[in-house]
Amino acid sequence: MADNARRFCAAAAPRPAETGTRAALLKEFQWEAGERIGVRFLEGDASLHERVRAVAEEWVGPRMANLDLQFLDDGPATVRVAFAPGDGSWSYLGTTAQQIPTDRATMNYGWLTPDSPEDELRRVVLHEFGHALGLIHEHQNPEEPVRWNRAAVIADLSGAPNFWDEATIEHNIFAAYDPEQVIATPVDADSIMMYPIPASWTTDGFSADLNPELSETDTGFIRDAYPW
Ligand SMILES: [Zn+2]
């Protein structure tokens, strides 16, 4: 799984406005507290569906977000999950999923299979459903920007296994949000929404590890964002 650990999630938004680093949420794309969100799998193995669902549901419930993730076998669903290999892992942010044509996926898991180890599956599914609930990447925090070594980042991400062009790198790594657009906590290096950042990517030695679980900040933040 070492190779997959170097694959980065390209969070998708209908307009290019991603930026930030911490538990942060774009206010514009936030759901209403208590809202029901239909989720449907477009393809894939039933045992994999069950595993993804169990992990995704950790975001909601009495001690977490006041949102109702309704997994549906058929019919209309706002969050539509695909497992297209080679398309990476990504999700639209929050309510932007409502703007996507209904025959298209709003979330993809490009490398999860029924054989994926549980820790790998948890890391990716918690992260992508975080996007689906409106959370942005922790590294795009507008208040305390990461000091990027741009050349090093571009060199790494333009090669295997990501093969991102410069526009994609700009959108997913360097772009910064306007503080007015987000609700954010202080920087949380343990957030599930943090990208793994090698020290070679920054000019001040900052680095972050791959986080496999929801942090305390993630948990408190989602509870406050979607109160009961
Ligand atoms: Zn992401």
Q: What's the CA-to-centroid distance between 21 and ligand 1, angstroms? A: 11
Residue 213's closest CA among 197, 185, 187, 192?
192
pTM for this structure? 0.85
What pLDDT is stored for residue 8 in this prediction? 67
Collapse the DSSP code of 120 into the 3-class scheme (helix H, G, I; strand E, B; otherwise coil) and give the result: helix
**Cα of 131 to ligand 1 centre, how many Å?**
7
Q: What's the 51 CA to ligand 1 centre distance in angstroms? A: 19
Give the distance (Å) from ligand 1 centre to CA of residue 89: 8
Bond prior to 161 in cis (omega within 30° of 0): yes
- Residue 188, pLDDT score: 77
Question: Residue 153 corresponds to which tokens in the numbers above?
Answer: 């980042």
Predicted local confidence at residue 5, as pLDDT: 46
At 26-62, the pLDDT tens digits run 778 899 999 999 999 999 999 999 999 999 999 999 9
Q: What are the C-alpha distances in Å from 9 to residues 71, 172, 188, 206?
A: 23, 8, 18, 20
Contacts (Cβ under 8 Å, ≥6 apart) of 43: 82, 83, 84
- Separation of CA 90 and ligand 1 centre (Å): 6
Fold category of 2-225 in CATH: Collagenase (Catalytic Domain) (3.40.390)
Q: What is the pLDDT of residues 163-220, one digit of tens each?
A: 889 988 888 888 877 777 787 777 677 889 887 888 999 999 888 877 889 999 899 9
What does each C-alpha distance from 149 to 5, 22, 64, 176, 200 come to in angstroms? 21, 19, 36, 15, 7
**Are the C-beta atoms of 23 and 193 separated by less than 8 Å?**
yes
Q: What number is the average pLDDT over the span 77-90?
A: 92
What is the predicted pLDDT for the residue at 99? 92
Q: How far is the CA of 11 from the centre of ligand 1 (A)?
A: 5
Q: Which residues contact 199 (CB under 8 A, 6 or more apart)?
A: 205, 206, 207
CA of 126 to the centre of ligand 1 (A): 10
- Token look-up 């398309």 returns 87
DSSP-assigned letter for residue 103: T
Residue ranges near ligand 1 (ion) with Cβ within 5 Å: 9, 11
Q: How far is the CA of 227 from the centre of ligand 1 (A)?
A: 23
Distance in Å, CA 211 to ligand 1 centroid: 12
SS3 189: coil
User: So where are the chain's domains?
Assistant: 2-225
- pLDDT tens profile 136-163: 887 776 766 788 999 999 999 999 888 8
